[in-house]
Structure 1
Amino acid sequence: MQVSPSKSQFVAVASIAAELSAVMEVAKEISLAAANAKAIAFRAGEKAKGFQPITDFINELAKETIALVNDINEHALKLYRLTVKEHRMAEACKRFEKVAASAESALHAASLRESLQQTRQRHADCHREFSRHVSELLSQLADVMHPARAARVIAANSRIEASQAGEYLQSLQAVAESVDHAAQIIHDKVHKCRGALSMIGTAA
């Protein structure tokens, strides 16, 4: 059975919301990892002197990601509302077209054609707005990729600095691994969001 464009839009927007929720949770985990790393680096003192500023970078990246995802969630909500609106407009157009076709020879058929034209225009406007929001959301998702890439670079540097931390080596390396893993998850989730958006953007 073929899935209608509006249904595929609903599915795509719902999946994006789920992926963004996961991204938010992972970003919070990075923030927690930064706090743990700061505490470990403080206890390690001079042995982890090079690691201390890294924890600030990790925390800033987590905050940046959370802020970006909050903005994206607002946009995704607008996209969902537009999906509902466009679906309703499409259904209204279909009904008008059926009525107009069956009343073609009626005395006041012209008034129906005018209403149909207005409905089609509103549907076209809604469709354009939907497409614009898809493009904007794709751009915002691209922005989330930047802190995720930066986090992976920082994680690599963290491993180097952790190697100088003596008995704190394993604890700080665990932090680096958790940041690297979290950044990879964010990258993968955002990539899925962009894929889903690209599909409905193409369909639109």
Structure 2
Amino acid sequence: MAAIQGQQYFVSAAIVAAELHKAMLVAREISLTASNARALALRAGHGAAGFRAITEFIEELARKTVTASKDINGEAVKMSRTASEIARTRDALDRFHQAFEKAKDSPNLASLKPALEHTKAQFETLEATFHKQINQLIARLEELGRELRTATVLAAMSRVEASASGREFESSLNVIAENVARAASKIQKHVKNSQQLFSEITLI
């Protein structure tokens, strides 16, 4: 049972790492889009001044997403290590209990009690650490999700500013706005998948 649960933790952590890696790749696309948008807005001149300001917010969003994804991924790796320790400690406890059951009439059984109590305390500490790590990761993902919701607002603002840039550039700037909205939607999907996985881990 311990091996199965440990395996579930590892698989979930690996899937989360994959989801966050995808989110980072999309965030880097947004950063490139923002750079293209700034260059285009400069060409458009005064009419796209508002759009230029928005590109700074878009780049900042991309930076935050990349940084947060890296940090969360690192925390997921730590959680995986804790899960490994939990699985091993649980297995040790099972073996202690089996030994106590088989040798319950042995006069030397009491000598094992200190080791058993130490293993129990270690197991409880690891479980508390593990749940704390999960809660921290869920909080970080929720924070990232809130940041990403601003991308929808930025895309809407971008469309408004695009319409003020003049007919020559409006279409191109609208494409950029759509790219930002679409990329943000993809990242939100990866973040939600990660949140769902961590929620399921707490129920194991």
Query: Which interval holds the TM-score relative to the shorter structure?
Result: over 0.9
State the 1:20 CA deviation: 0.8
Structure 1 counterpart of 2:125: 125
SS of alignment partner, residue 51 of structure 1: helix
Aligned mates of 1:177, 1:113 — CA distance in 2: 65
Matches for 1:79-94 after TM superposition, within 5 Å: 79-94=79-94
**Aligned structure 1 segments of 4 or more residues deviating by more than 3 angstroms:** none
Which amino acid counterpart does residue 130 of structure 1 have in structure 2?
F
Check the 8 A contact 1:100/1:113 in 2, yes or no: no
**CA RMSD, Structure 1 to Structure 2 (Å):** 1.4
How many pairs are equivalent?
A: 201
SS of alignment partner, residue 202 of structure 2: helix
Aligned mates of 1:24, 1:101 — CA distance in 2: 52
Matches for 1:96-175 after TM superposition, within 5 Å: 96-165=96-165, 166-175=167-176
Aligned mates of 1:36, 1:146 — CA distance in 2: 25
Structure 1 counterpart of 2:78: 78
Aligned mates of 1:146, 1:64 — CA distance in 2: 12
Aligned mates of 2:68, 2:157 — CA distance in 1: 24
State the 1:84 CA deviation: 1.0
Identical counterparts, % of pairs: 37
Which amino acid counterpart does residue 143 of structure 1 have in structure 2?
E
Aligned mates of 2:70, 2:4 — CA distance in 1: 30
Per-residue displacement from partner, 1:101-127 (whole Å, max 9, x unpaired)? Answer: 212112210112332222122111101
SS of alignment partner, residue 104 of structure 2: coil
SS of alignment partner, residue 202 of structure 1: coil
Aligned mates of 2:202, 2:38 — CA distance in 1: 43
State the 1:202 CA deviation: 2.7
Bigger shift: residues 126-135 or 74-83: 74-83
Which amino acid counterpart does residue 193 of structure 1 have in structure 2?
S
SS of alignment partner, residue 105 of structure 1: coil
Under a length normalisation based on structure 1, what TM-score does the superposition of the two structures give?
0.93
Aligned mates of 1:21, 1:147 — CA distance in 2: 17
Aligned mates of 1:31, 1:144 — CA distance in 2: 16
Structure 2 counterpart of 1:179: 180
Check the 8 A contact 2:13/2:80 in 1, yes or no: yes
1:201 aligns with 2:170: no
Aligned mates of 2:56, 2:196 — CA distance in 1: 32
Per-residue displacement from partner, 1:136-188 (whole Å, max 9, x unpaired)? Answer: 11000011012210111101110111122321122211111111011111111
Check the 8 A contact 2:5/2:87 in 1, yes or no: no
Structure 1 counterpart of 2:192: 191
Under a length normalisation based on structure 2, what TM-score does the superposition of the two structures give?
0.93
Give ranges in structure 2 of 5+ residues lacking alignment. none
Aligned mates of 2:55, 2:61 — CA distance in 1: 10
State the 1:100 CA deviation: 2.1
Aligned mates of 2:90, 2:19 — CA distance in 1: 28
SS of alignment partner, residue 4 of structure 1: helix
Structure 2 counterpart of 1:9: 9
Check the 8 A contact 1:51/1:161 in 2, yes or no: yes
Structure 1 counterpart of 2:31: 31
